Amino acid sequence: MVAIRDCATEDEPVEAALRRMRRLGLLALPVRDRAGRLAGMLFEGAQRPARIEPLEGSQGLEQALRSFEQQRTGWLPVVEDGRPVGVAGCGEVQAHLEIDRELGPAVLQVSHELSPSDEMLALDGSWASYLAIGADALRCIRRSMGLVHKHEVRSIFDLACGHGRVLRVLKAAFPGANLTACDINVDGVEFCARVLGAVPVVSHVRADEIEVAGPFDLVWSGSLFNHFAAPRWDEFLDLVESVLEPGGLFVMAIHSRQFADGMRVGTPDPKLSRDGMARIVRSYDESGFGYADYAGERDWGDNVATPKWVEERLARRARLALLDHYESGWTNALDVVTCVRQ
């Protein structure tokens, strides 16, 4: 919820109220009457305030979500005793629901300390969205655990940990587990060590140069394999096999077919050139796997693979068995692949 710093008034010109709304960075602004009570909601582009049913400050999340759906709007005013006290977005309510469902009381154990260098926080836009993506990763991991009736996690290797968006959630969900954080971003690794108590491991371009002590019963890789050309998949799968204990789970997220479909219709990517996007789609259509470097970079970019390509790649492994390919499983955008160490 966005706290109200200002409101429009019933007798205020609409254009003046819209200018204030833009200065506040909001997409909707409550309108109050002369007694200070809610009189409506002003939306961008509207000619007049809309009459709308507000959310009560004490309202439950499920009930709030139904209000958004019934009124077909992304923003609703929040009132207490009929007076506007905030503006709630549907996405924010959905994020809090995801957090509540997956973490429950354990959410109180999630570290709120954030690094100013955390790119994921800047991308997600808010703490609720940031934490909800971590909670959704936990949901995917628990789903993978259910495939092999695994009930506990004792040691976690976060391969490409960043600044701990997922690892902080795993620490709260599995408080007895030993954590190891690995990333090529040294600042991120040091942050996870200092704040989350993880064993720090600085990654390398070559997987065989990564010095990490296993074994682990869970390896999570949220955004790594989707940035490699095909040969580096094998190098990093070798690493996973070497540190995963027998019966341990490897859960990774990769780009889904939606990623290829977006490039196919010309959705721009700030890091990929048009030629790179065309090469990814062409190779994906021909072989089931497409890759291109980011503009100005080498051996680091984006790829997309079909489930069949992933299955065939993993079938070459002597000690990793594919259990599941959960399409668009993480954040409705990334496929989640689960393997077990034989």
Phi first, then psi: give them for residue 311, nearest 5 degrees.
-60, -45
Phi/psi region, residue 37 (left: phi>0; alpha: psi -120 to 50; beta: rest), is beta
In this structure, what token pair is assigned to residue 280? 């990814």
d(CA 153, CA 177): 6
Walk along the chain (342 residues) and give the pLDDT tens digit of each residue. Answer: 666 667 888 888 988 888 888 887 788 889 998 898 998 998 988 888 888 899 987 788 889 899 999 999 988 989 988 888 888 888 888 888 899 999 999 999 999 999 999 999 888 778 899 999 999 999 999 999 999 999 999 999 999 999 999 999 999 999 999 999 999 999 999 999 999 999 999 999 899 999 999 899 999 999 899 999 999 999 999 999 999 999 999 999 999 999 999 999 888 888 999 999 999 999 999 999 999 999 888 889 999 999 999 999 999 999 999 999 999 999 999 999 999 999
H or E element, residue 246 = strand 244-255
One-letter amino acid for residue 86 of the chain? G
Peptide bond connecting 246 to the previous residue in cis, omega within 30 degrees of 0: no
Q: How many CB atoms lie within 10 A of CB 182?
A: 27
Rg of the chain over all Cα atoms, to the nearest angstrom: 23
- Superfamily the domain 110-341 falls into: Vaccinia Virus protein VP39 (3.40.50.150)
pLDDT, position 2: 65
d(CA 299, CA 159): 18
Residues forming CATH 3.10.580.10 domain(s) in the chain: 2-96
Helix/strand/coil for 263: helix
d(CA 267, CA 61): 33
Q: What is the pLDDT of residues 218-234, one digit of tens each?
A: 999 998 999 999 999 99
Residues forming CATH 3.40.50.150 domain(s) in the chain: 110-341
d(CA 154, CA 335): 25
Sheet arrangement for strand 75-80: 2-3, 83-89, 75-80, 55-56
DSSP H helices in 45-110: 61-71, 90-103
Helix/strand/coil for 38: strand
pTM of the shown model? 0.85
Greatest Cα pair distance in the chain: 74
In the CATH hierarchy, which fold is given to the domain comprising 2-96? CBS-domain (3.10.580)
Q: What is the pLDDT of residues 230-288, one digit of tens each?
A: 999 999 999 999 999 999 999 999 999 999 999 998 888 889 999 999 999 999 999 99
